[in-house]
Structure 1
Amino acid sequence: MFGIVVAGRLLQTECQQIDETHVAFTIESAVNVNHICVFMLGTGASLFPSMVDDVTKSKHFSLFAFIVPFPPGYAATVHFHWPGKGFQLLGMLSNEKPSAVFRLRGGYTPAQLQSHSTLSSAAAIGGPPPMTDNVTAILGIAVEPIQSVEAQINANTAGQAGQSTDNRLVKPGSQGLADPTVLAERIVKHMFTYLSSFVSDPGSLSPDTVVPLNVIRRWYDNFLTKIRSGGVSFLENQD
């Protein structure tokens, strides 16, 4: 019914069938995987015979299953499991979209997404997170009503959009800092204020004042910490 191709590897069609609506592929040496293509083979009537009404295991049934890989009203969600971090929703397959390419490395945050309960039973074959490069991951596929599939995709898309908004450098309310010139000016002012705090007599400041390199390094580390935790909005509050 399904096949996968990891970039740089051979076609893989052998999978573990968990039940009539769930399958799982084992992916060896997963740390080396960047992209993976998941697709429907157009066959596999035995995967979910109970979903199709008024048909039998005849030649007609086989022909029907080949022409329509999913029964009407059904599609599939595609999940990726990294050992110890649960399943993450990658996307979907349907009769209208029988294949998809997913980027894995750096493109997902498993800890922030809900695991797929049925597929979790297959993830045990991956074992605990190893300390070497030989990590075994699981790609799971769940055949579900298309309304459920679309709801999961929409929720996942909304979650990613919210995360992207939270990670923006310039937050709402700090639009003045969107101007590169203003932003650079505020950064320099912040650094100057920080370095000046180490001078006991501000009146003694001159173009020849020497600033130890470790003080600049401390400012840099402090500045990055603030940027990562809340963007650049703190620069708006400078006197």
Structure 2
Amino acid sequence: MFGCLVAGRPLQTNLQQVDETHALFELPMASTINHICVFLLGTVPFPDGYGAAVHFYWPGKGFQLLGMLSNEKPSAIFRLRGTFSAVSSNETLFAGSPAASGGSALTALLGLSIEPLPQIMAQLATLPAAVAKPGAVASDATLLAERIVKHLFNYVSSFVSGRGSLTPETQIPMALIAKWYETFMSKVQNTGLGFLENQE
């Protein structure tokens, strides 16, 4: 019924049934996971009025709600790096699962809980906005572009502050822009775009 795709890895369809309403995917080498996609295979739809709450289990931190799937929303992509909090939503949600029973610290779990849609929506309403909408920074392209340009401006300004102010006539070496780009892309790949919100 479900498929799971960790970015850069083969498709997983090896869903493990925990009970009638809970199932999970084991995710080895969890520390290397940045993004994960979970979706309905299209073979079996949810019963009317039902969907699946999607949970992520990091060893030692419990299960945390990521989002949901339904017949109307048959797939979702979640950014895991930098968004998983230490607060567990429910340690015993998938009791008896390998990681919940003390499995390898390098293996995480993606849990799916079949529930009535109103219950799932109530759970989603309790999520912080940054977790409920992991792409919130990128949702407004104008705001994102403004933050990137501001980051570049602040970076370049730090090199010319001792020689006066930055003006439209100030010549900037391309090597400086190239260095900013390398640093900026490395930061985005390692931590996402959240650092752009912390600019003064």
Q: Aligning the two structures, in what range does the TM-score lie when normalised by the shorter sequence?
A: 0.5 to 0.7
Matching of residue 6 in structure 1 with residue 6 in structure 2: yes
Q: Which residue of 2 is the match for residue 90 of structure 1?
A: 66
Amino acid at match of 1:13: T
Deviation at 1:126, TM superposition (A): 6.8
Quote the residue 2:159 is aligned against: none
Q: Which has the higher helix share?
A: 1
Q: Secondary structure of 2:126's partner?
A: helix
User: For residues 38 and 160 of structure 1, do their structure 2 counterparts lie closer, same or farther at Cα, with a shift above 3 Å needed?
Assistant: closer
What is the aligned counterpart of 2:99 among 104, 121, 124?
Answer: 124
> Do residues 108 (structure 1) and 79 (structure 2) align?
no
Q: Displacement of 1:89 after TM fit?
A: 0.6
| Structure 1: gaps (5+ residues) | 44-64, 162-239
| CA distance in structure 1 between the partners assigned to 2:91 and 2:112 by the alignment | 10
Q: Provide the rounded CA distance (Å) in 2 between the counterparts of 1:125 and 1:16.
A: 14
What's the counterpart of residue 213 of structure 1? none
Q: Secondary structure, in 3 states, of the residue corresponding to 1:148?
A: helix
| AA partner of residue 115 (structure 1) | N
What's the offset of the Cα at 1:114?
1.7
Aligned pairs (5 A) from 1:29-108: 29-43=29-43, 65=44, 69-108=45-84
SS at match of 2:124: helix
Q: What residue ranges of structure 2 are gaps of 5+ in the alignment? A: 133-200
Shift of 1:108: 1.6
Q: What letter matches 2:27 in structure 1?
A: I
Q: Provide the secondary structure at the position in 2 that maps to 1:100.
A: strand
- The answer to whether the 8 A contact 1:87-1:120 is kept is no
From 132, 136, 154, the counterpart of 2:125: 154
Q: Conserved in 2, the CA contact under 8 Å of 1:126 and 1:138? A: no
CA root-mean-square deviation? 2.3
Q: Which residue type is aligned with residue 88 of structure 1?
A: Q
SS at the partner of 2:81?
coil
In our comparison, the structure showing a higher alpha carbon Rg is 1
The 8 Å contact of residues 23 and 142 in structure 1, kept in 2 or not, is answered as yes
Looking at structure 2, the residues matched to 124 and 116 of structure 1 have their Cα atoms a distance apart, in angstroms, of: 11
Identity of aligned residues (%): 55
Distance 1:160 1:107, change over 3 A: closer
Counterpart of 1:223 in structure 2 is none
Counterparts of 2:83 and 2:72, CA distance in 1: 25
TM-score by length of 2: 0.61
- 1:137 pairs with 2:108: yes
User: How far apart, in 2, do the equivalents of 1:158 and 1:3 lie?
Assistant: 26
Aligned to 2:18: 18
Q: Distance in 1 between matches of 2:76 and 2:36?
A: 8
